Structure 1
Amino acid sequence: MDIVFTVLILLLAVAASGVVTRLLPLPLPLVQIAMGAMLAWPKLGLHVTFDPEIFMMLFIPPLLFADGWRIPKREFFMARRSILMLALGLVFMTVLAIGYFVHALVPSMPLPVAFALAAVLSPTDAVALSGIAGKGKVPGRLMHILEGEALMNDASGLVALKFAIAAALTGVFSLRDASISFVIIAVGGLATGAAVSWLFSFVSVRFLNLTEEGDPAPGVVMTLLIPFAAYLIAERFELSGILAAVAAGMMMNYTTLATSGSVSSRLRANNTWMMIEFVFNGMVFILLGLQFPHILGRALLDAHQTSDAQVGRLIGYIAVVAVALYALRFTWVWLLRWFSSRGAARHGLVNAVPGLRTVAVTTVAGVRGAVTLAGVLSLPETLPGGAALPGRDLAIFIASGVILVSLVVGVIALPLLLRGWRRGKDPHAAEEALARTMAAQAAIRAVDDLHDKECANLDESASAYAADVTARVMDIYRRRLTALAGDQEPRDMARRADALEFRMKLSAMRAERQVLLSLRSNQTINDETFNKLMHEVDLSETALTARWK
C-alpha cells in the first residue's frame, strides 16, 4: 500500500509541476527538483530509496529510446564528428583529467574511486538542458550536437565507470583490455538495439498484422516494449543497454511498424510517447530532488557537528570540481573549434566556425542529471574483503552537489548567453516549402487520375457532379501551391485567404463543439454519440491548427 501511495504522490507532483510552470516562468526540471526536495521534508514522511539498477532499467531506456526516435538522423550523421569528439573524446579526457585532479584534491580518496567519480560526472542531460533553455531557444545545429552528445555519452561514461569500479575492487587495470572491451560493448549494444527494433517491427507486420486498420492499441504496446527488450537483452550479454535503447529508437524511423502503420496507430503512439516522456522525465527530476536533502543535508549536518571548517571544505570540493569540469569542457570545445577553423580555412572559408558565444553556450549546456546520480550510487559499499570502500560517501556528495550546481548555473547563465542571439532564417524553411510543393503536386495528380477513373462510365449529370467535386478538392491544393509560389503578390493574397479560411473554420468548429455540449447537457444525445462527434471535431481542429504552428 505504501508503494501505491508513493507512486500516486509522485504523479501528483509531476502534474503540479506542469501547472506551476504555466503560472511562473521557471524551468520545469528545477521546479520538479524543488518539489522533490519539499516532499523529502521530514514531517511529510516521504522517502524513496533510490535503487540505481531499478532506476536505470525502468526510466532510462524509454527516455533514450524516445530521444533516439525523435532526433533528426540527417543532422545527427552530419554532426557525427563533433558528437563523437564530445561523447567519446571529452568523456575519456574528463575521466583522466578530473580523476587525477580529484585524487590530488582529496588524497584520502583512492585513484580508482576518483576515476569512478569523474566517469559519472562526464555524461550530460539533454532533457534538463531543453527544460532550462526553452524549446527553440538554442540554435538548431548546436542543439542537435548537444542532444547527440547526451545520447551517446551516457554509455561511454557508464562503461568508464564499470572499468573504474573493477579497478577499485581488484586493483588491476589494463588499458588495452579496456579499449577492446569498450569497442565490443558499444558496437554490440548498437547492433542489439537495431536488431531488436527491426525484429519487433518484422513480427508485428508479418505475423500480427498491426499495420492494418483496426484497434491501434496492440501496435502501441509493442513500441512500448521495444526499449526495455533492447536494454535487457544487451545487458544480459554484458553489452551497453543504453546504446541498445538509443539504437532501437533511431531504428524506428526505418521500420515498417512506424512508417506503414495505420493513421490511428501513429496518432495514438505519438500521444502515448509524449505522455510517457512527460511523466518519466518528471519522475526522474522529482526523484533527484528527493535524494538531495538526504545526501547533501545529512553530510553537511554531520560535518557541522565536527567543525565549520569541515562544512566549508565540503562545499569547496563541490565548487572546485564544478569549476574544473567547466574549464575542461570550455578548453575542449575551444580546441575543437580551433581545429575546425583551420580545416575551414584550408577550403577557403573565412569565419565559418561559430565564435566565443557558441563555445560558452556549449560549456554551460553540459548539465548533469539523473544518470550521474544513478552511476555514483551504484558504487559498491564494500571491498571484496568486507572493508568499506574508501571515499564512496564523499564521491556521492560531490556528484550530487555538482548536479545541483550545473542546473543552477544553466538556469542563470543560459538565458543570458542566448539573449539577443541572432538565429537567422530557418535553415529548414526551403526544404519544407519544397516538400509541401511536391506533396501538393502529387495530390493534384492523384485526384486527376482518380477523376478519370471514376468518370469513365458515368452519365452526363453524374460526370458534371464529379467534375465539380474534383475542382473543389483540387482548389485546396492549388491554393497551397500559390501560397508557396515565388511571385510575391499572388502568394500574399493566397496566404491572406488561407488565414481568413483558418479563422472561419476554427470559429465554426468551436461553434459545433458548443452545440454538442448543449445537446449532451439537455439529454438530446447520449454520451456515446457526444464522444463520437466530439472526437471528429477535435481531429479536424488538430489537423487545422497543426498547419499553422
Structure 2
Amino acid sequence: MDDVNLTLSMLAAVLISNSLVKIIPIAIPAPLVQILLGFLIAGWFNHGMTLNPDLFFYLFLPPLLFLDGWRISKESLIRDRIGILVLAFILVFLTVFGLGHVLHWLIPAMPLPVAFALAAIVSPTDPVAVSAITRRVPLPPRLQALLEGESLFNDASGLVAFRLAVALALGGSFSVTSASQNFLWLTLAGLAVGVMTTRALLLLRNLFVRRWGEEPGAEILFSLLLPFASYFLAEQLEASGILAAVAAGVTMSYAELSGNALAATRMQRKTVWDTVQLSLNGIMFVLLGEQLPAIFRGAIEVVQETGHHNPAWLLVYAVAMCTTLILLRFLCVYAYLWLRRGLSLVGLRHDDETAQANPRLVLVLSIAGVRGAVTLAGVMTLPLTLADGSPFPARDLAIFLASVVIIVSLLTASLALPPLMKRVSFPALRRRQDQEERAEQAVRYASAQSVAQTLNELITHNPESSGARYTAMADRVLSNLAHSPDGDGVDQDLAEQAQEKNMQIQAIHAAREAVYTLARTHQISDEIARERVRLLDLIELRMS
C-alpha cells in the first residue's frame, strides 16, 4: 500500500509543481521544483522506491521519444540537418571520448567503460526543460527548433553509445569493427523496425476503420500502444528500441497528413498525449529527487574507495563534469557556426538566415543544452551486478553524478539564459511567415470554392427557394470560417439549419484537405499544418 501511496504522491507532486511555478514571482523551472518535492516525499515516506532499471526504461522512454518524433517540425530537421547532425552525433561522440577520459583520470575507481557509459548518458539534451526555463524569455523559433532536432537524435545516439559502453563494462570485448557493425545494426534495424511496425499497424487500423468506423477512445489507445510495440519488437531483434520509438513517431506524423482521423479524435488525442508528456516528464524529475538521499549515500562510499574521505570531492567531480560538457559544446557549436558562416560568405552556401558565430550566441546554445528526463531514465538502467554477480562498479556514483549534472545544468540555464537572451539577436524566420500566409490563402480559397459549389447545388436543387437566402447562408459560413463573430440571429427552419451546417462542414473538410496537401507537397511545414488543422477542428467541434 505504501508503494501505491508513494506513486500517487509523485503524481500529486507533478500537479503541485506546475501550479507553484505559476504562483512564485521569480522564474523557477518546474523540473527543479519537482526534484525538491521528490526529495521531500522521500523524507516523508522514509524509504525510496525500488526501481527495476529495464522496466523503468521500457515504461518511460518509448512514449516520450515517440512524441518527440511525432511533433517535431520535419522542415526544421531538413533545414538545419547539418547542425543537428553535428550536435547529435559528432558532439555526442566527442563527449563520450573526451568526458569519459576526464572522468577516468579524475576518478580512478571508475573503470573506463563505466566512465564512457556515464559520459554517454549525460550527452542527450532535454528541450522540455529548456522550454520550462525560458517561458518568460522565449527562445527564437529557429533556435528552439535546432535544440529540439538535436534532442531527438542525440537521445538515440547517446543511448546507443551508452548501451555499447555498458556491454563493454559487463565484460564484453571491444574492437572498432565489431563496434561499428553493432552500431549500424542497432541504428538501421531500429529505424526499420519502427517504420515498418507503425506502417503495418496503421494499415490494419485503416482497414478496420473503413469497415467498422472510428472510435476516438480506441484511436487514442492505439497511438499510446504504438511506441511500446515498436520498442518491444526492436529489442527482440537486438536492435535499438529507442530509435524504433523515434522512427515510429516520425512515421506517425507523416501518416497524420493523410487527414483520415476525425476532428474529435485529433483533439482528444492531443489532450491525452499532452497529459502523458506532462506526467512522465514530471514523475521522472520527482523520482530523481526521491532517489537522491540513497544515491548520495552510495556515492559517498565510492568516493571513500578512491582514498578521499571528504564528501566535498563529489562537488569537485560534478563541477569538472559540467565544465567539460559546456566547454565541449561551446567549441563544437562555435566551429559549426563559423564554418556555416564562412561557406555562406564565399557563396558555397546560400542562407539568408545564417546566424553569426558570435560568442554570446554560442554561449546561449551551450548553456541551453540542459540535461533532463532521458539522462535520468538512462542512468537508472545501469545494471545492479556484473556477469559474475559482483556489484556493478561505481554505479551509485555514476547515478549521483548524472543527477547532479541535471540539477546543475537546470540551475545554470535558469540563471544565465534569461539575461543572455535579452542581448542575443537571431535571424527572423521569414520562411515561416511566408508559409503561414500561404496556408491562410489556401484555407480561404478552398473554403470559398467549397461554399460556392454547395451554393450552386442548393440553388439548382431548390429553384423555388430564394437565392438571396442561400447567398446569405454562404456569407455566414465564410464569416465563421474566418473566425469572425457570428452575425445576428437569423430565422431558419430545421431544413435550412441542416443545409447551412452541411455547407460549413464541407467547407471545413475542403480547407483541411488543402492544408494537408500543402504539407504533403512540402509547401508548408507539418508544424504549421497542425496549427491550421487544429483551428479548423475547433470550429467543427464547436458546431457539434
TM-score by length of 1: 0.82
Deviation at 1:55, TM superposition (A): 1.6
Candidates 439, 443, 449, aligned match of 2:443: 439
Q: Is the 8 A contact 1:211 1:257 kept in 2?
A: no
Deviation at 1:370, TM superposition (A): 3.1
Comparing 57-66 with 18-27, which one deviates more in the overlay?
18-27
Quick one: distance in 2 between partners of 1:457 and 1:373? 65
Partner of 1:117: 118
Comparing 3-12 with 423-432, which one deviates more in the overlay?
423-432
Candidates 366, 370, 394, aligned match of 2:369: 366
Partner of 1:314: 314
Quick one: distance in 2 between partners of 1:343 and 1:540? 40
Give the secondary-structure state (helix, strand or coil) at the position aligned to 1:114.
Answer: helix
Residues 421/26 of structure 1: CA separation in 2 closer, same or farther (3 Å cut):
same
Q: Deviations over 1:207-265 (max 9, x none)?
A: 243894x5311111111110111111111111111111111111112226972111111
Quick one: distance in 2 between partners of 1:170 and 1:504? 78
Equivalent residues in 2 for 1:264-275, closer than 5 Å: 264-275=264-275
Candidates 395, 400, 412, aligned match of 1:397: 400
Q: Deviations over 1:254-278 (max 9, x none)?
A: 2269721111111111111111111
Runs of at least 4 residues off by over 6 Å: 301-308, 348-351, 502-505, 539-542
How many aligned positions are there?
492
Give the secondary-structure state (helix, strand or coil) at the position aligned to 2:110.
Answer: coil
Residues 262/302 of structure 1: CA separation in 2 closer, same or farther (3 Å cut):
closer
Residues 461/131 of structure 1: CA separation in 2 closer, same or farther (3 Å cut):
same
Quick one: distance in 1 between partners of 2:71 and 2:175? 38
Q: Is the 8 A contact 2:284 2:376 kept in 1?
A: no
Quick one: distance in 2 between partners of 1:379 and 1:286? 19
Q: Is the 8 A contact 2:263 2:537 kept in 1?
A: no
Partner of 2:246: 246
Partner of 1:26: 28
Give the secondary-structure state (helix, strand or coil) at the position aligned to 1:48.
Answer: coil
Quick one: distance in 2 between partners of 1:297 and 1:406? 22
Quick one: distance in 2 between partners of 1:388 and 1:305? 14
Q: Deviations over 1:166-225 (max 9, x none)?
A: 22232621011111211111111111111122122111111243894x531111111111
Deviation at 1:281, TM superposition (A): 1.4
Equivalent residues in 2 for 1:122-161, closer than 5 Å: 122-134=123-135, 137-161=138-162
Q: Is the 8 A contact 1:14 1:32 kept in 2?
A: yes
Deviation at 1:414, TM superposition (A): 1.4
Quick one: distance in 2 between partners of 1:301 and 1:275? 39
Q: Deviations over 1:425-445 (max 9, x none)?
A: 554222212211221111111
Q: Is the 8 A contact 2:194 2:230 kept in 1?
A: yes
Q: Deviations over 1:366-400 (max 9, x none)?
A: 11223323333333344434444433333233222
Deviation at 1:333, TM superposition (A): 1.1
Counterpart amino acid of 2:397?
L
Q: Is the 8 A contact 1:211 1:260 kept in 2?
A: no
Candidates 30, 39, 43, aligned match of 1:37: 39
Quick one: distance in 2 between partners of 1:171 and 1:262? 51
TM-score by length of 2: 0.83
Q: Is the 8 A contact 1:451 1:470 kept in 2?
A: yes
Quick one: distance in 2 between partners of 1:379 and 1:457? 72
Partner of 2:503: none
Partner of 1:356: 359
Unaligned stretches of 5+ residues in structure 2 = 490-533
Equivalent residues in 2 for 1:166-185, closer than 5 Å: 166-170=167-171, 172-185=173-186
Quick one: distance in 1 between partners of 2:414 and 2:435? 34
Equivalent residues in 2 for 1:152-231, closer than 5 Å: 152-170=153-171, 172-209=173-210, 212=213, 215-231=215-231
Quick one: distance in 2 between partners of 1:281 and 1:152? 18
Q: Is the 8 A contact 2:476 2:487 kept in 1?
A: no
Quick one: distance in 2 between partners of 1:473 and 1:379? 59
Comparing 467-476 with 320-329, which one deviates more in the overlay?
467-476
Deviation at 1:475, TM superposition (A): 5.0
Quick one: distance in 2 between partners of 1:233 and 1:304? 43
Counterpart amino acid of 2:283?
M
Quick one: distance in 2 between partners of 1:400 and 1:504? 60
Residues 157/418 of structure 1: CA separation in 2 closer, same or farther (3 Å cut):
same
Quick one: distance in 2 between partners of 1:342 and 1:466? 61
Comparing 135-144 with 406-415, which one deviates more in the overlay?
135-144
Comparing 365-374 with 98-107, which one deviates more in the overlay?
365-374
Quick one: distance in 1 between partners of 2:363 and 2:211? 48
Give the secondary-structure state (helix, strand or coil) at the position aligned to 1:207.
Answer: helix
Quick one: distance in 2 between partners of 1:540 and 1:176? 52
Q: Deviations over 1:400-448 (max 9, x none)?
A: 2222211111111111221244456554222212211221111111111
Counterpart amino acid of 1:377?
M
Residues 314/504 of structure 1: CA separation in 2 closer, same or farther (3 Å cut):
farther
Partner of 1:414: 417
Give the secondary-structure state (helix, strand or coil) at the position aligned to 1:239.
Answer: coil
Quick one: distance in 2 between partners of 1:151 and 1:201? 23
Residues 380/457 of structure 1: CA separation in 2 closer, same or farther (3 Å cut):
closer
Partner of 2:531: none
Give the secondary-structure state (helix, strand or coil) at the position aligned to 1:170.
Answer: coil
Q: Percent identity?
A: 38
Residues 78/454 of structure 1: CA separation in 2 closer, same or farther (3 Å cut):
same
Counterpart amino acid of 1:16?
I
Quick one: distance in 2 between partners of 1:252 and 1:396? 34
Q: CA RMSD in A?
A: 3.2
Q: Is the 8 A contact 1:197 1:252 kept in 2?
A: yes
Residues 341/50 of structure 1: CA separation in 2 closer, same or farther (3 Å cut):
same
Q: Is the 8 A contact 1:205 1:257 kept in 2?
A: no
Residues 380/351 of structure 1: CA separation in 2 closer, same or farther (3 Å cut):
closer
Bigger CA radius of gyration = 1
Equivalent residues in 2 for 1:428-507, closer than 5 Å: 428-474=432-478, 480=482, 501=485
Deviation at 1:71, TM superposition (A): 0.6
